[in-house]
Structure 1
Amino acid sequence: MIRVHHILLLCFLLDNFHFIICNNNNNTERDILLSFKLQLTDPNNALSSWRQDSNHCTWYGVNCSKLGERVQSLTLSGLSLSGEIPSTFGNLFSLKNLSLARNKFVGEIPTELGNLHNLSRLQLSENNFTGRFPTSIFFYLSSLVFLSLTKNNLSGELPQNFGHAFPNLTTLALATNRFEGVIPNSISNSSHLQIIDLANNRFHGPIPLFNNLKNLTHLTLGNNFLTSTTLLNLKFFDSLRNSTQLQILMVNDNNLTGDLPNSVAYLSGNLQQFCVSNNQLNGSIPKGMDKFQNLISFSFEQNYFTGELPLELGSLKKLEQLLIYQNRLSGEIPDIFGNFTNLYMLSLGNNQFSGRIHASIGKCKRLSLLDLEMNKLVGVIPKEIFQLSGLTTLYLHGNSLNGSLPPEFKMEQLQTMIVSDNKLSGNIPKIEVNVLKILKMARNKFSGSIPNSLGDLASLVTLDLSSNNLTGPIPESLEKLEYMVRLNLSFNKLEGEVPMKGVFMNLSQVDLQGNNRLCGFTNQVVHKLGVTLCVAGKKEKRNILLPIILGVIGAIVLFVSMLYLLWLLISLKKHEEEKRSLSSTPLKGLPQNISYGDIRLATDNFSATNLVGKGGFGSVYKGVFNTSNYESQTTILAVKVLDLQQRKATQSFSVECEALKNVRHRNLVKVITSCSSTDYKGDDFKALVMQFMPNGNLEMNLYPEDIESGSLLTLLQRLNIAIDVASAMDYLHHDCDPPIVHCDLKPANVLLDEDMVAHVADFGLARFLSQNPSEKHSITLELKGSIGYIAPEYGLGYKASTSGDVYSFGILLLEMFIAKKPTDEMFKEGLNMNNFEKKLLNIVDQRLINHYEYSTQNFGSDSHSGESGNISYSDGSNTYKAEECIASAMRIGLSCVAHHPKDRLTMREALSKLHVIKQFILGL
């Protein structure tokens, strides 16, 4: 029988066993830490106290237990340390806190950390760790309360039983890594969670549900690839009903679609940040927003929300950010700004708001950014806006605002002011803002002279006053602006000599065209800036004689004008016979023969505002034509005005007319009529009036000037455009008699209508193929097309052929999926299968794979928009389909650019293969 004193002895030994073991391992822990120090780079000598002859429990960042001096905490954050975490850290069995955040550690996180069964805090954020996060930590560290790995390069997936692995976890911070896969719904089983931050990763699949997280305060899922529908949105917000402590909710920059439910109003009244920006959400903004009286940031921008701005937002007195730009909201902006005394960012731009700007915005005294650009706002700009002393950014461009600006204003913090594309008038005010960097007031009705005070804006980088009614000389004070990189004073009525110092020394930074009374003293200035040559030594005399000369000229002009009108009446009949329509069905209400006067009126005297683009033989303008006796009934058309000073421009006009007068195809640009007349000077004038394409050309869509705001062409859109172009070329080559060769196929000549349907344009270099076999190999001395798209045989003088068009199409097809121009360095080795077959998916536009999405409702239609819903694949088949589609399309492109014409596909074969790819990608 075991005696009582035996039991007491056993209990004593067990109670002191940990003490005995701990004392025997002190040297081991000291050795582990010293070895760790030797492997580190310590630029600030922060670990100088770590010495062999001292007690390791007294070292910087080391905390030990009172009994046995075992290391319980190692805190070395923010010391710029670099190196790797040694696997020997798994001997530190008593460690409860390991914090190495904000350093420069590299390598993988050791799997041995899974042995630290007492660890409650693991903080490794803001380092350079790579590889997969060890599964041993997921499976064996159930004691973890705090886990932060943000801002590393870690990868891998979260286990499906995540919530069961960490029952005590309160903070989960994995943001800004490369984690992927589906976010498991089991996270809800970690019922103590307060902070979930999974932003800036590669998580995909449906947006997860977070039931039973009563302590949740922060939920951040932004910048992933999560998807949703209206029904899933309802479930998601319902799952947060019990999270009554929620303060931050961010699901921005994902692929969420559908409406937001009214159950949004059931979210926590403690909500401070609510962000759903940069998704594809639609419908109206949910009601009940007045519940969130603690809301600081309301961020719904870059979606497809419609309807009006809720009046109840005006009750949110603590609001600091109201961001709803780039949606489809309409109606008048409600007068809700009186209570926004804390608001510093107000961005409602790129919507369809109408009405006036409320003066109550002036009560937002802390306002730093005011963005109302690209709406339909009218009326004057309230003077109260120019009294906001803290305003740094003012965007009011692209509206119909009128009236004048205050004669002077002092906005001490203003850095950017853009009021272009309105109807503002009066003089340019005196602006006294030392930090102003960007000032754009173009395309308004400002008059008077350019104030000298602009030269005192020492920080000015960009100044654009183009397309106004400004008069007088260019102030020499502008020469003082040493940081100026862009000066645009074009299309005004400026006069006198062009200054020669400062920004004017770099002519590539200055645009003065359209000012006929400006002059320069050097041929370089005259040539580059489009001004006349000044007459040296005649300045004073010219100023004295100017009124006399102008009077004489005026009389002469009046007399000549009368003679010209008489001549015009006599020759009118002759010129009317020269005009002919290229369309047998002109637009209803539009005269079949359009005159020079009609075109001049429609283009606002060929205003730069209406200039769409320029080509080798002329310029294209947007024209607004009256289609009835009522001014309100108008039609927007494109007008291609030939530059008859260019060699062969007249020939190009004739060729284009001949090529297009009998062709009819959905994917060819439709020419409405032509004009062959004289202008007001009596010079010949020729123009083509065509269908207007609101989405511009393919080139500007592939390479938008502003990448952030530019709309990315999706994979399906690019495939549809390729099929459209191939259909047009197939028609020209195989269905026209005689066949027509375009000779200048390139992205700039592929126009996109409102539905993103492509139309091939610009037939100025087109050729009709001869049916005489003997002319098959005849040569010509001219290259046909544009550099980078010209078939190699044309360089040897071969005659234009359909295979030459096929080559151009192949280049265009490759360019669409690579997003690199054919003059790029990557093509220097030539275009062939051997060079590109093995690296097709390495050179493609990666955005097509990373943002792969397709419409589920428009697959069976001709629409190219693809905006209504997504198909998502949890097994990775989405990426597979995207890559297969791109690779197949690029192989077609490579088959079209074979060096020998006989080895190329025909357009009919290429079109057939593209249709097969589309059927594959749509699962038909």
Structure 2
Amino acid sequence: MVSNITTPSQGVSSLHQSLRYFPGKGQSKFCYELPATNGTTYLVRTTFRYGIYDGGSILKPTSFQLQIDTSNVALIKPDNSSIWESVIEVTMSAVAPQIYVCLAPTNPGTDVPFINAIELRELGPLMYPKARQGYMMITRYRYNFGSDHDLRHPDDKYDRLWRKYPRSNAPLSRLVSAPRGQNVAVETPYSRDEAPAAVMNTALTWPVNFIFPFNVTGGRNYVVLLWFAEMELTAQVQSRVFEVGIDENWQAPAIDILNVTKRIMYEAYEWGYGSIALSGTSTIAFRATTGSLLGPILNAMEVYEVSDPVQPRTDMQDVAAINAIKLYWPNLKTWTGDPCLALPYDWTSCSVDTDPRITMLKLDGYNLTGSIPTTTILKLPELTVLSLGNNSLNESVVPDLSALKQLQQLHLQNNNFSGVFPAWVTNLPNLQELFVEGNNFTGYVPQSLFNKTKYKFTYTPSDRLCTGSSPGNCTTTLGTPPVMPASSSMSSSTKMAIIIGTATGVLGLMLIGLIVCLWRCKRKLLHYSNSVSSRQLLKADPEAAFASSAKSQTMAYSFKEVKEATNNFQIQISEGSFGPVYKGKLSDGREVAVKRCRPCNKQGAIEFFDEVQTLARIHHRNLAALIGFCKDAQEQILLYEYLSNSDLWTHLHGDSGKHLPWSTRLSIALDVASAIEYLHTDCNPSIIHRDVQPRNILLTRNMTAKLVDFAFAKFTSEQDPTLQVYSVDVKGTAGYLDPEYAVSHHLSDKSDVYSFGVVLLELISGQEPIDKTASDRNPLLIEWTRPLLAEDDIKAVVDPSLGDKYNEDCMWKVAELGMMCVEPRPFNRPTMAEVVQELREAITLEGIAHPSLMTPLSPRSAQSSGPL
């Protein structure tokens, strides 16, 4: 239904003065189909403005989900204010000739979705590559610095909405702009996403530095894009070089605009972060470098939230069949969008495969008339339920649907079917329910329908129906339920035949059970001795190889099993460079951490197989064990053991405030050091962890530490050659990342040593590596610790919660070891083998027991995984 807003506000676009709303139908979703070109990148903008269109009759605010294609994008919850408005923008790549925009009421039949406008804008072929990597980019804001008004089309040919950045939020800033008649060139090799000239012609500059909060939802990944253009002639003589830092991480290379543009003024330069994890308190800061005579400058900025990987649409053949059914039965024409995702139609159910398949048509009571569209329904080969009861269907002969071999339930009751009973139902091998009552069938009903166990068969008794041993021997009418011959009247030969048949059946079942048992044992216990033949099979048929290869304790799981284990990826417990991590529970009761690879990180089948081989050979008591993997056409997934006692960061800094005693901290340090040493020296090829930090140190119930994400580097490739991007998310975590990387862009085993040294100092002090609240001391843990140790003031460094419950000689030894690990030059740092030896000596000084000190340590004993 269409309604006008009753209290339009001044300045509201005419496009938003009316809306369409969807009351009272009880439908799970209402969708629009926007024409698109497959593979093209689009901006989809939706506007919701309540405007009291219903006269304020909504006493309880409505609530509904905005869904685009197969993804939930935003929850819309308007208040009763006439000025309430929400504009949601998504940048995405079309995967079909149409884009679905759907509104799904939280409570169908009660909540009333509405929408004012949908705008679709085609973007350039090279713009926003993240959207072409299997993600949606949800606009959080797009700022124009230096302008006093918002801009969109015609200033921006792509109709992006650029909001003015409030000068009140930029104290000490100075406005600079291009001279009259001079536009900043935006179609340059340095500006892939083409910020418009009207935006680039103005900027703000600061004397030395400035900082402002992102104001985003924490725990997500974001794309952050920045635009600069040099417009001050003094910059040709004086230098303008500045750094950009997120959360006080200043390891990105300094920015010299004129150096990039080859000394050409008025040229746009785009710079940014291709994917970075932000918290709710994250900030971005700009500061002039030493020697720079001019302060930082900023023309424009975009911030996008990165969605979860976009799930593929329903199988194309199934969608075509559903569309044909909707055309055939006009009662269903109001249903649009994907029949399975993000919510299925009320009358469909779907599989949990990578490409969902239609498994149920539940069309009872939809006022359907005419005949069954047999040809179309037969194009849904995965149907397990076909329910057409309580309609007005009429056919003299029910068409043969026996080609639907997966069908388990066929409901045809209470229609106007007539003619011969559909005896072809006996050719459905999996059929368990057959409801045909309330029709006018005649003729032969196969006797086997009455003999099956655990089989539901309902019909209307009629003298025109009969049963018997064959259609030619239809001796029993079905005016009343049939009475089968009593067993006492059987001949001895018949009884013997039944006994022999029964015995044969039992033996057959036992044989089948034995085969299944052997197969399942083989699936669990096959070792990597067959890896050579598996690789040969991979080269010929990768998917077949994965289907047939289960490695040692590492099992191959289907995508369906993984979705069932995670309840359709319901509980996300973390996010890494490999992709999101979900909690799951296997059918045998084991809890697992499920790592689902982002589309942009996927490897070829052979490379992924090699990775699984490598990971499955890694066994160490302080490394999380690989339980299994999943590989199909669309997915690459790893399953690890799940540890429920949280991570080291939570125990050191979390809200629960658990204070770890020094003995436990020391034991954790040796656990982690032993794991890293194993990765460096005992694995072939050796593995550089690249992200040693407390969030990647998980703890068992008895506080044994296990390092996770020890191979994520091999799965990560997020650098974008079309944009100068420095991505902290890819190369470690701020505060723990080797500063040598900023110079060499190379990580080595000594980079892990540096990160571990920071963790050691964190265990000693209880301080995070960067203290954003510090105002009277150096916020960097390393630089705060160094002078205190130089003054022999170890007590000023130690976490106050430890009191005096530690051996001071041990504490000094560990503190000095930590400072050795964070030496600026890698060759001055110890190896992890030397670190492990030093920590063993420290534990001896402290007088505590540790499993690695019980027996002589060797590569073999390090790999054994004893009880935790």
TM-score (norm 1): 0.34
Report 1 or 2 for greater relative contact order, CA contacts < 8 Å, sequence distance ≥ 6.
Answer: 2
TM-score (norm 2): 0.36
